[in-house]
Amino acid sequence: MATLGRTRRGGNGATRPFAALFLVALLLLAFRNTDAVRAVATQGTQLLVPVQRVLADTGIGANRFVEAIGEIDRLRSEKARLQAENDRLTLENVRLQEQAVSAQQAAKLDAVRRTLPYTTIAAPVIARDPSGVLRAIVIGAGTDNGVKVNAVVLSDQGVVGRVSETGTNYAKVLLITDSSSTVSALVESSRATGIVRGQYGDTLVMEWIPQADPVKRGDIVVTAGLGIADQLRSLYPKGLVLGKIVDVTKAEVAAYQRAVIEPAVDLHKLENVIVITGTP
């Protein structure tokens, strides 16, 4: 019995708050249009407005934060796409520029070939000595293309050298700047003759120029087409450009003068050449 009494008292204690709230709700409903209740409601609303604003701002901030993260991901993806497109266009531009340069070089070589009274072929430079010690290049044409040893090699600017070694699909070219290279030459303006040799430093030297012949800086030197020593004829046809005189040395007692020549061809940047494979 004592236990039953305690249970009932406990049940009454749990229902009292609900009964009180119900009573308050009835009173508010009954007196909702009274001035006192309206004043209390207004005051309560004013107290809750700042809280509602904070909650609303918090919700907006969280939503904007989520949107910002999504926008950052979108921008990253767009940046990666644009970077890939920019890389592709850069490579395409480089390829087109190389094609344009190759076309220009081919057009220049073709124009020179048409002016030469010889059988010629065009060939690319495929290797060179990076140290510059050997003074030679390798071209991508050989005996299969009619290239022979001692064939003269030109560019659109002037003489490059002569073929010193051949294979079926390649040829080694000894440059005119090599110390073993010797060419009979003449000064275009005064017709003074001499011997042009290669020397260290990517320059040429013209020796055995008669002291009385007028030679000056800026004069153009071309091949003379004359044989040297026991040669019956020169390997190089007459009239091919060798270079321009940049310095002249005159001895007071010697019978000859000496000139330093800058080659007409920039041999370090040579990419394509013309090979004379036959006579007219």
Q: What is the pLDDT of residues 88-105, one digit of tens each?
A: 999 999 888 888 888 888
pLDDT at 254: 79
CA angle 253, 254, 256 (to 5 degrees): 145
Q: What is the dihedral of CA 50, 51, 55, 61, to 10 degrees?
A: 40
Checking if the pLDDT of 4 tops 50, the result is no
**Predicted pLDDT at 1:** 42
Q: How many domains in the chain?
A: 1
User: Confidence band (pLDDT; 50, 70, 90) for 124?
Assistant: very high
Asked if the structure places residue 146 within a domain, the reply is yes
* The predicted structure's pLDDT at residue 2: 46
Q: Where are the alpha helices (DSSP H) in 131-274?
A: none
Would 30 be classed as within a structural domain? Answer: no
Q: Distance (Å, rounded) from C-alpha 256 to C-alpha 233?
A: 23
Q: Domain range for residue 134? A: 119-278
pLDDT digits (tens, 9 = 90+) for 212-238: 899 999 999 999 988 876 666 788 999
Query: What's the mean pLDDT when you consider all of the chain?
Result: 84
pLDDT at 13 (0 to 100): 62
Question: Of the ranges 102-111, 176-185, 196-205, 223-232, which one carries the lowest mean pLDDT score?
Answer: 223-232
pLDDT at 54: 66
Task: Pick the more confident residue, 273 or 128.
Answer: 273
Tokens of 63: 């939503």
pLDDT over 90 percentage in the chain: 46
Q: Does residue 125 form part of some domain?
A: yes
**Residue 68 above 50 pLDDT?**
yes
pLDDT, average across residues 151-167: 95
Query: Closest by alpha carbon to 138, among 119, 165, 158, 112?
Result: 165
57: in domain: no
**pLDDT at 7 exceeding the cut of 60:** no
31-40, 194-203, 222-231, 264-273: range with lowest mean pLDDT: 31-40
Asked if 196 and 182 count as a contact pair (C-beta separation under 8 A), the reply is: yes
**pLDDT (average), residues 208-214:** 92
Comparison of pLDDT for 117 and 233, the residue scoring more: 117
Residue 86, domain member (yes or no): no
Say which CATH number the domain at 253 has.
2.40.10.340
pLDDT of amino acid 61:
63
Does residue 212 belong to any structural domain of this protein?
Answer: yes
> Considering the domain boundaries, does residue 36 fall inside one?
no
Q: 229 lies in a domain?
A: yes
